């Protein structure tokens, strides 16, 4: 074969190969071949699930109080007006019917502080609703429709642990109050932890458009099951920017189950150990290729963790076969385990792998003696309680913590104004040790012009001096 013939043959091969590649690309990207293909749609899924997604309207009465009324001189000369002006504050959200008897799950922030809650169905009917259970730790609440005698359409739960990044999902809710709206997208990420919305930092991230009013609505997978409850968005404008977050269905399932059982609070397993994240420096020290897992920082005496054999500096790698990327992941996975029985926790100890059986039981919650401080003092308006294992777990305190802790603050109280925070542990007041709530109540009953207070916040001891 001549040199020219060889070059022509090579060029022909290139053309043939290129032609086959172009042909494959053309097969991947083609014009729909029939009317049936043009009609491909999410409509069948939407028609099936939309009737189970509701609108939630909450209202509360706000009384506007003139700050001058707190001034004794003003009250002395001008008296106290009889009726203060009131205003109705309303909030709008979405919800999902999870039981045919009329049980609805939504976000707690949608109905927080509400005096009246209404639920509107997709067929425009409205019902009064009562709050069955509120769980601030997950930002979930369960409502029940009042005076109903019919069966309602519901959504079944998906196993959110089986979701994968790239799965197609549909978001249904009532954004901006315009009415029921459907958007679609994919799961952009799983196990998002740096969101700061709830105690359990483990969210599904999606680019399905979620806007104000979508809170409490459904994130649905392609089988028509509830994958999560839409909760928050990341936005610089107040509208959707393609980053929305949903509470995974497996956590929602736990809260709904507690409501169905008649509980007023969600009961979860208690570990009784404080965990910390593995930094790159720690990973290098213990021989890990990359920072992963949850490091045991302390173990409470008599806790399930201690009885299972968990020890200081153990590295938790997985729970029931599911990997633990960080303490947030462990908290979520452990909290979704059913009470009773045990969970198999894999740990690395001194370079050796071992499995420990951790009992799944609730934390003891006795002797809280929760009170609200009303005496004129820096603590006025603070709700305080004795630390129980359950309260320490709830407030993410050290499992060995003891004493009196601030559990809530009124907006108009002195305690909030001077800077106290939920979770502050009061150690002493005017050099008197505070062990029980009765000690604090006694200490603030004495009129003082100067207050010396020692408290613990975030593991740091703080000395405070306030004028009275």
Angle in degrees, CA 29, 30, 36, rounded to 5: 125
Residue 18: strand, helix, or coil: helix
256-259 CB contacts, 8 Å cutoff, 24+ apart: 256/98, 256/99, 256/103, 256/105, 256/142, 258/133, 258/135, 259/103, 259/132, 259/133, 259/142
In DSSP terms, 385 is beta-bridged to 405
Pull the structure tokens for residue 123.
């067929």
Residue 37: strand, helix, or coil: helix
> Is 147 annotated in some ligand binding site?
no
> Is 199 annotated in some ligand binding site?
no
> Is 109 annotated in some ligand binding site?
yes
Return the DSSP state at 157. B
Rounded Cα distance, 419 and 450, in Å: 16
Angle at which helix 327-335 crosses helix 249-260, to 10 degrees, equals: 40
> Is 343 annotated in some ligand binding site?
no
Which residues are CB-contacts of 118 (< 8 A; sequence separation ≥ 6)?
Answer: 56, 57, 58, 126, 127, 128, 129
Measured between alpha carbons, how far is residue 255 from residues 68, 177, 186, 288 in Å?
44, 26, 26, 36
What is the distance between the terminal CA atoms of the chain, rounded to a whole angstrom? Answer: 107
Q: Are 185 and 171 in contact (CB under 8 A)?
A: yes
Rounded Cα distance, 59 and 48, in Å: 30
Output b/e per residue, 28-59; b: 16+ Cβ within 10 A. Answer: eeeeeeeeeeeeeeeeebbeebbbbbbbbbbe
> Is 400 annotated in some ligand binding site?
no
The catalytic site residues sit at: 109, 139, 215
Rounded Cα distance, 327 and 182, in Å: 35
Which segments are annotated as binding site for substrate? 109, 139, 213-215
Which segments are annotated as binding site? 109, 139, 213-215
């Amino acid at each position: 074969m001549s040199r020219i013939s060889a070059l022509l043959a090579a060029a022909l091969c290139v053309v043939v190969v290129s032609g086959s590649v172009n042909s494959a690309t053309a097969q991947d990207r083609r014009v729909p071949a029939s009317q049936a293909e043009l009609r491909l749609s999410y409509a069948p899924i939407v028609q099936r699930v939309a009737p189970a997604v509701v609108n939630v309207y909450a209202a509360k009465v706000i009384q506007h109080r003139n700050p001058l009324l707190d001034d004794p001189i003003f009250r002395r000369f001008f008296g106290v007006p009889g009726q203060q002006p009131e205003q109705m504050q309303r909030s709008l959200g979405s919800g999902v019917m999870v039981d045919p008897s009329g049980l609805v799950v939504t976000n707690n922030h949608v109905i927080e502080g509400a005096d009246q809650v209404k639920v509107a169905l997709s067929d425009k009917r409205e019902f009064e609703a009562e709050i069955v259970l509120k769980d601030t730790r997950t930002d979930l609440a369960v409502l029940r429709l009042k005076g109903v005698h019919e069966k309602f359409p519901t959504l079944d739960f998906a196993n959110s642990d089986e979701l994968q990044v790239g799965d197609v999902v549909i978001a249904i809710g009532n954004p901006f109050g315009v009415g029921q709206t459907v958007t679609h997208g994919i799961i952009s990420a799983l196990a998002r932890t740096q969101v700061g919305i709830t105690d359990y930092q483990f969210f599904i991230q999606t680019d399905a458009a979620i806007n104000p009013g979508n809170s409490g609505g459904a994130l649905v997978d392609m089988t028509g099951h509830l994958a999560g409850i839409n909760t928050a968005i990341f936005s610089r404008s107040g509208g959707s920017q393609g980053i929305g977050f949903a509470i995974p269905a497996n956590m929602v399932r736990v809260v709904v189950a507690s409501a169905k059982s008649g509980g007023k609070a969600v009961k979860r397993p208690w570990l009784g150990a404080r965990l910390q994240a593995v930094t790159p420096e720690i990973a290098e020290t213990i021989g890990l290729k990359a920072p992963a897992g949850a490091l045991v920082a302390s173990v409470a005496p008599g806790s399930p963790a201690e009885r299972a054999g968990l020890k200081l500096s153990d590295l938790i790698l997985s729970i029931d076969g599911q990997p633990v990327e960080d303490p947030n992941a462990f908290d979520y996975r452990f909290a979704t385990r059913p009470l009773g029985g045990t969970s198999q926790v894999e740990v690395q100890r001194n370079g050796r792998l071992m499995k420990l059986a951790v009992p799944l039981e609730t934390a003891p919650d006795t002797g809280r003696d929760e009170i609200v401080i009303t005496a004129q003092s820096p603590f006025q308006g603070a709700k305080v309680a004795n630390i129980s294992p359950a309260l320490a777990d709830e407030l993410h305190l050290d499992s060995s913590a003891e004493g009196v802790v601030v559990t809530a603050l009124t907006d108009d109280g002195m305690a909030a104004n001077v800077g106290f925070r939920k979770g502050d542990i009061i150690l002493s007041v005017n050099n008197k040790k505070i062990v029980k709530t009765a000690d604090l109540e006694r200490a603030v009953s004495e009129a003082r012009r100067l207050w010396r207070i020692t408290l613990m916040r975030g593991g740091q001891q703080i000395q405070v001096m306030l004028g009275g």
